[in-house]
Amino acid sequence: MAALRPVSPIADLSDPGATLVPAALRCWRAARDAGAPVQQRLHKLLAPARGAMLAPAFDSLLMLYELALGRRLVAGQSAALSADERMLLGLLDGAGVQGGRFADTGAVAAMLDSAVRSTRVLLARARRGFGGAALPC
């Protein structure tokens, strides 16, 4: 029997969640680079879209994603998505950690897989709040 694939929280790039994910990665990267409080910046970004509960989830997810890659995450510029943003969207869309190219395939990858699943659940729950909201950071 084939496993059922859950409904994607970010089915395609027209979905506001597909805009929110790269925005969260970019906000996280900018805050980390500036030595600013990351969760506070993420909260400011996500709260107007009724996604404040996603701030700690994205912080953990992105920290584990970076650890699993074994290098700094690369944020995209303007409308162009970076390879890291595209892979993150794929992970959250159901590709799973096994589909990525990670330096760590052990404990960190297992924790990343858990963080991906948790973030997917929270994205799906908050999805109704994303429509048309501005994403300042």
pLDDT of amino acid 34:
97
* Cα-based angle 47, 53, 58 (whole degrees, multiple of 5): 95
pTM of the model: 0.79
- Coil, strand or helix at 23: helix
* Cα Rg of the chain (Å, integer): 14
pLDDT of amino acid 94:
80
pLDDT of amino acid 128:
64
Q: How far apart are CA 115 and CA 58, in angstroms?
A: 8
pLDDT of amino acid 101:
74
pLDDT in tens for each of the 137 residues of the chain? Answer: 333 334 444 433 345 557 889 999 999 999 999 999 999 999 999 998 788 999 999 999 999 999 999 999 999 988 889 999 999 998 998 876 655 577 767 889 889 999 999 999 898 888 765 554 445 55
pLDDT of amino acid 12:
39
Half-sphere exposure of 30 toward its Cβ, with a 13 Å CA cutoff? 14
